[in-house]
Amino acid sequence: MTSLIPPLLRALPPWLSNYAITEADAGLAELPAGLQQELMLKLNALSVPQPYQRAVRQATRQALKAWQANPETTSNCLVILSQPVEAIAAIVKASLEDYLLDCDVRFFLRSYRRPPEPLSILSHLQRELEPEQANEQAAPAAPITETDLQEHRPTVMVIPSLEQCFLRCIQGWEGIEYFQQLGTQDTSRFWVFGCNQWAWTFLSKVCQVDAYLEQTVSLPALTDEDLQTGFASLMAFSMSRPDADLTLHISPDEAHWSTLASLSSGTGTIAAQLWLQSLRLEETDLTAEGTLPAEVQQAELRATRPSLPSLTSLTVMDRYLLHSLLIHRLMTRAHLALSLGENERTIHSRVQVLQRAGVIVQQGRWLSVQPAHYPKLRSELGNNNFLIGKA
Amino acid sequence: MTFTAHIGWMMAQAVLPSDDNLQNLFKELSTQSLVQAVGTIAIAYGLLLAVQSAARVVSERVPRRFRLLIKQSVPFLKSLVLVIAVARVVQLFINLTGSNLLALTGTLAVALGFAFKDYVSSIIAGVVNLFEGSFRVGDRIRIGDHYGEVVKYGLRELRLQTPSDDTVTIAHSTTWTTPIENANSGQLEAQVITEFYFAHEADINRVVNILYQAAYSSRYTQLKLPVVVIIAERPWATHLQLKAYPMDARDEFIYKTDLTLRVKQACARQQVPYPQVPAMEKTD
């Protein structure tokens, strides 16, 4: 019964749920901005969670084996699906880079970002992949003995992120149709794609991608133990400063990790953001300006009970904008405008508002949804009749 | 005399109240019962206003999927308040025995048959519509020449908000004889048909593809529902109908605009020819 309460609270409209969860940790203050940035960098530098890597490797190995054993009838494509706030490209790369040593693994479009003119995506993909097609091989013959299997060194083509290969506009998903065609026609190679759940659901509706790339595997939900292990290196760390090095300690209790796992639904990036937002310092440790005194060399960070940040009241336009951002994960303002059929000025003003409210984050020209807001946004968009990805 | 009035007249004759009956029909008037009646009416009026206002405010602030649910509950809540209030007031002044009820309804039928037959007809039509469910508050309907969203369901009339933001008041009795066209029947989505015309020499497969992609790429489209393109030949052009559903029926017109804009941009880019409209003959 109690497990029903968090989803119900998330389903409440923002103007009600703002009052649903409040922080009441008296005597504690937020971390200084510099310390938050430092922690953010450390979180970003953490390696891809082991359960994710294990899941990707296991699924790829199984699918590959099945295809090798029966190349005529078994699909030669595998799609790894993640939540739209996870960096799927990094997860796929980290998982497969030094793994399939018995295969010829080729990574494509490693850091490919959607070009300013989205209609040129198809020609970019063709340029990248056509030299490979020139060396077209015949499909491997079905093995008869164990030796046949061992002698054949399969080629594994990895496209780490599909969502950068399309834009929701007319002719915007020709790149995906090209992959569909490649995957089904070039049966001499095994294909691994990374994609986010929302993009996958969208593409399945508009170009039936799931009919062509039929094998999918979703990343597993991280448990409280996984989170504890993943963040272990951050429980005590040093920061070099001009005056003296600062050592920080954090010692959250068991309940902290289980709350974190539950609120984030086991999604790594959401858990990382919520964890960061839950950290506090004793008010007495800080100066009047909210910074640490220069002479401090050691400090204890307090991990308070994690909670989802309250979602600002969204306009109809905001919902369309955020839905588009979650489908594409990373977008420029120009792409957003083109996809939504609005002029850039209108988009710009709403993006500014959402950025100030902390719902959207910007890195260079690229906009994305702040992961900590994803659980509430998912409920909000689902309740407003949008097509959303699986949880 | 109408049929209803005639029946009422017959019933009234049948149980024509004698002096004794009349004395028993009405309870003795007292200050307390008068105060209670006035209080009941005031409370009922307040509740009706509160239900209407609360539903209007709350339904526009909750997520879309709950909007129609709240709006659709308003007529039932209002009917409930009215029925309870009327029952309470009647109970304060009248001895509700079987014969009294018959006498009262007969007399009322005569009176109403002569004086308020249209009003009563509207009220009855309102109640019938409520249970038949041919439309609900929040639906987009056409009654006669009027099209719009049902924004109010009153005792006697319903109100439509038209696309030009006018409010049209239509008596419920109109629905006895006028057909009602309902676009969404209690659902958030309603099919929108957008018409396009292209020259005969246009590559029709390419055009159909553009139309499908326009629907799939529009932010308003409900992707959970099907998109269909229908083609028909006209002497001077190929006529295409793009049938799709916006996520919210309220976006009907802006959705059409978005689809048209997307299709026109793509057609301009791909140089799809439009038909040459034949010169219209002038008619006096």
Summarised one tens digit per residue, pLDDT across range A339-384 is 999 999 999 999 999 999 999 999 999 999 999 999 999 999 999 9
Q: What percent of chain B has pLDDT over 90?
A: 51
Whether the pLDDT of residue A19 is over 70: the answer is no
In sequence order, the 6+-apart residues with CB closer than 8 A to the CB of B57 are none
pLDDT band at A22 (very low <50, low <70, confident <90, very high): very low
A85, amino acid identity: V
Taking a C-beta distance cutoff of 8 angstroms, is the pair A338, A118 a contact? yes
pLDDT band at B47 (very low <50, low <70, confident <90, very high): very high
Domains and CATH numbers, chain B: 3-132 (no CATH), 140-182 (2.30.30), 192-269 (3.30.70.100)
CATH number for the region A50-218 comes to 3.40.50.300
Domain with CATH 1.10.10.10 in chain A: 316-383
Q: What single-letter DSSP state applies at residue B281?
A: P
Whether the pLDDT of residue B19 is over 70: the answer is no
Q: Which of A169, A327, A385 to mutate to test the interface with B (most CBs of B within 10 A)?
A: A385
Average pLDDT value over all residues in chain A: 86
- Asked if the Cβ–Cβ distance from B223 to A387 is below 8 Å, we say yes
Of B224, B248, B261, the CB nearest to A341: B261
Rounded to whole angstroms, the Cα distance separating A94 from A91 reads 5
Please tell me the distance in Å from A169's CA to the nearest CA on chain B: 5
For B18-27, what is the mean pLDDT?
A: 65
pLDDT band at B17 (very low <50, low <70, confident <90, very high): low
Burial of A73 (0-12, 13-18, 19+ CB in 10 A): exposed
Q: What single-letter DSSP state applies at residue B195?
A: E
Give A271-339 as a DSSP string.
HHHHHHHHEEEEGGGS-TTSS--TT--EEEEEE----PPPPPPPPHHHHHHHHHHHHHSSB-HHHHHHH
- Give this complex's ipTM: 0.85
Helix (H, G, I), strand (E, B) or coil at B153: strand
Taking a C-beta distance cutoff of 8 angstroms, is the pair A191, A183 a contact? yes
Give A123-145 as a DSSP string.
HHHHHHHHHHHHT--PPPPPPSS
Residues A117-126 pLDDT 10s: 999 999 999 9
Cβ neighbours, 10 Å, residue A263: 21
Whether the pLDDT of residue A150 is over 70: the answer is no
Residue in A closest to B264 by C-alpha: A170
pLDDT band at A238 (very low <50, low <70, confident <90, very high): confident
Topology classification of domain A316-383: Arc Repressor Mutant, subunit A (1.10.10)
Rounded to whole angstroms, the Cα distance separating B88 from B110 reads 23
Residues B173-212 pLDDT 10s: 999 999 999 998 888 899 999 999 999 999 999 999 999 9
pLDDT band at B171 (very low <50, low <70, confident <90, very high): very high
Domain with CATH 3.40.50.300 in chain A: 50-218
pLDDT band at A114 (very low <50, low <70, confident <90, very high): very high
Helix (H, G, I), strand (E, B) or coil at B191: coil
pTM: 0.83
Taking a C-beta distance cutoff of 8 angstroms, is the pair A39, A31 a contact? yes
Q: What pLDDT, on a 0 to 100 scale, did the predictor assign at position A3?
A: 47
Whether the pLDDT of residue B38 is over 80: the answer is yes
Whether the pLDDT of residue A266 is over 60: the answer is yes
* pLDDT: which is higher, B107 or B3: B107
Rounded to whole angstroms, the Cα distance separating B146 from B160 reads 8
In sequence order, the 6+-apart residues with CB closer than 8 A to the CB of B180 are B134, B135, B141, B142, B143
Q: Which residues pair with A145 in a beta bridge?
A: none
Q: Which helix (H) or strand (E) holds A106?
A: strand A104-107
Nearest to B272 by CA among B188, B180, B206: B206
Give the position of tokens 């304060």.
B92
Cβ neighbours, 10 Å, residue A284: 8
Whether the pLDDT of residue A187 is over 90: the answer is no
Taking a C-beta distance cutoff of 8 angstroms, is the pair A380, A319 a contact? yes
Residues B119-135 pLDDT 10s: 888 988 988 888 888 89
Q: Which residues does B contribute to its contact with A (CB < 8 Å)?
A: 61-66, 188-189, 210, 213-214, 216-219, 222-224, 247-248, 258, 261-262, 265-266
Q: What percent of chain A has pLDDT over 90?
A: 59
